[in-house]
Amino acid sequence: MTYDALFQAQLDALKEEGNYRIFANLERRCGQHPCAASHTEDGMQEITVWCSNDYLGMGHHPAVVEAMVEATRDAGCGAGGTRNISGTNVHHLALEGELADLHGKEAALLFTSGYVSNWAALSTLGARLPNAVILSDALNHASMIEGIRHSRADKVIWRHNDPEDLDRKLSAIDPARPRIVAFESVYSMDGDIAPMAEIVEVAERHGAMTYLDEVHAVGMYGPRGGGVAEEAGLMHRIDLIEGTLGKAFGCFGGYITGSTALCDFIRSFASGFIFTTALPPAVAAAARVSIAHLKVSQAERARQRRQVARLRAALDGYGIPHQDNPSHIIPVIVGDPVKCRMISDVLMDDFGVYVQPINYPTVPKGTERLRITPGPLHTDAQIDHLAAALNTLWKQCALARQVA
């Protein structure tokens, strides 16, 4: 048997289940978001993107684009090294200062993605704090799960968004041990938001450290885009806030913020920080401009909220079921991987609407969904077109409707 045959057998099984991932080959054009072109074997098609995590369109914001172009001209393309060996640049330090200020913390530390920041920070905390226990929300992101696993620390899973279960689980652990409560603010696939005040209160009562992933909230929540913790007035009560530069800030990279000692500890011991080339300076420059803009501008957040509400109302008008949550993420559950892929394909082919199907293992089997993320740059006409297209498909596929 050749190795390729071994690979192919597993790929065939994935295809059989309907869980094989097919990427849309997009041509994004600067300044035209959320419009783009989709390339297939049959040619090119103009489409509207409805599943982007460039939530506010900042990846195409003229000031952000200009910052990246200008910094590339000034500083060149790559950082030229790891942070330790010639790769630290004035743009990195300026961005770390901007991020520490955003979250009201003493310090910040950049990573090459949000995934790497979670993986590196949690694996280092769990491995280096003697006899640590990490208490992880049941629906935490893969990057947190992998970081915790890699740390080899004891792990306790608490029921999703359930502070009482967290309280019970913390009560059963020796208070002399370091305990880290790891959770997210906005959960990306269901769009639900953690009961943060209650979680923080429980952690504080037990003397546990808090680790918060705000990847799907930074830029969009809070008066300066500091996330749900800022909106709730809780930033100062959370020990470590982690985020991404790749979603609402429209760029690339990840970070943690916290005390000077905490960031220095991760900087000094995390292999995922130390042994990799630093972010390109131009990416750091662009991200800093994006963050600074969203600290003072409410326009993008206000318009995003309006368009989210408008799409929810349009779906309600047709009885298209969508999960009720307080965030900007609208999950439309299909509940079958093959149907989910088919609906997505027809939306693209017949209506020029691109919503990627979300299947297992990203979500549990039986909850396959279309995850729709309206942004400030979607027009009312585009929203009406999407809702009408879904209505046509719901009719064609005889899918269940929601009665008001």
Ligand X SMILES: Cc1ncc(COP(=O)(O)O)c(C=O)c1O
Would you count residue 370 as binding ligand X (CB under 6 A)?
Answer: no
- Residue of the chain from 188, 210, 359, 373 that contacts ligand X (CB under 6 A): 188
Integer Rg of the chain from CA: 22
Would you count residue 113 as binding ligand X (CB under 6 A)?
Answer: yes
Would you count residue 114 as binding ligand X (CB under 6 A)?
Answer: yes
Would you count residue 255 as binding ligand X (CB under 6 A)?
Answer: no
Instruction: Identify which of residues 307 and 373 has a Cβ nearer to ligand X in the complex.
Output: 373
**Which stretch, 84-92, 109-117, 119-127, 374-382, contacts ligand X (CB under 6 A)?**
109-117
Per-residue exposure over 282-302, b if at least 16 CB sit within 10 Å of its own CB, e if not = bbbbbbbbbbbbbbeeeebbe
- Residue of the chain from 115, 265, 273, 354 that contacts ligand X (CB under 6 A): 115
Per-residue exposure over 304-335, b if at least 16 CB sit within 10 Å of its own CB, e if not = beebbebbbebbeeeebbbbebebbbbbbbbe
The kind and range of the H/E element at 135 are strand 133-137
Would you count residue 184 as binding ligand X (CB under 6 A)?
Answer: yes
Would you count residue 112 as binding ligand X (CB under 6 A)?
Answer: no
Would you count residue 54 as binding ligand X (CB under 6 A)?
Answer: no
To the nearest 10°, report the CA torsion of 72, 78, 80, 86: 60
**Which stretch, 98-106, 107-115, 258-266, 338-346, contacts ligand X (CB under 6 A)?**
107-115
Would you count residue 257 as binding ligand X (CB under 6 A)?
Answer: no
**Which stretch, 209-217, 222-230, 312-320, 327-335, contacts ligand X (CB under 6 A)?**
209-217
Distance CA(378)–CA(399), nearest Å, equals 26
Q: Which residue has the tokens 């037990």?
A: 206
- Residue of the chain from 19, 118, 124, 373 that contacts ligand X (CB under 6 A): 118
Instruction: Identify which of residues 115 and 273 has a Cβ nearer to ligand X in the complex.
Output: 115
Query: By rule CB under 6 A, what string of x and - marks binding of each residue 136-155 to ligand X?
Result: -----x-x------------
Neighbouring-strand partners of residue 26: 38
Would you count residue 246 as binding ligand X (CB under 6 A)?
Answer: yes
Structure tokens at 168: 């019970």
SS3 312: helix
Distance CA(306)–CA(291), nearest Å, equals 21
Per-residue exposure over 5-44, b if at least 16 CB sit within 10 Å of its own CB, e if not = eeeeeeeeeeeeebbeeeebeeebeeeebbbbebeeeeee
SS3 399: coil
Would you count residue 368 as binding ligand X (CB under 6 A)?
Answer: no
Would you count residue 48 as binding ligand X (CB under 6 A)?
Answer: no
Would you count residue 193 as binding ligand X (CB under 6 A)?
Answer: no
Distance CA(55)–CA(285), nearest Å, equals 19
First CA to last CA across the chain, in angstroms? 57
**Which stretch, 26-34, 198-206, 213-221, 269-277, contacts ligand X (CB under 6 A)?**
213-221
Distance CA(343)–CA(339), nearest Å, equals 6
**Which stretch, 83-91, 111-119, 151-159, 299-307, contacts ligand X (CB under 6 A)?**
111-119
Would you count residue 88 as binding ligand X (CB under 6 A)?
Answer: no
Residue 101 Cβ vs ligand X, minimum distance, rounded to whole Å: 20
Residue 185 Cβ vs ligand X, minimum distance, rounded to whole Å: 9
CB 349 within 8 A of CB 355: no
* Nearest residue to ligand X, scored by beta-carbon proximity: 114
- Residue of the chain from 213, 230, 231, 239 that contacts ligand X (CB under 6 A): 213
Among this protein's residues, is 247 annotated catalytic? Answer: yes
Distance CA(379)–CA(373), nearest Å, equals 13
**Which stretch, 114-122, 170-178, 202-210, 222-230, contacts ligand X (CB under 6 A)?**
114-122
Instruction: Identify which of residues 118 and 359 has a Cβ nearer to ligand X in the complex.
Output: 118
Judged by CB under 6 A, how many residues of this single chain contact ligand X? 14
Q: Which of 247, 295, 365, 395 is catalytic?
A: 247
In 10 A of CB 175, how many CB atoms? 10
Residues designated catalytic: 247
Binding positions for ligand X, rule: CB under 6 A:
113-115, 118, 141, 143, 184, 188, 213, 215-216, 244, 246, 254
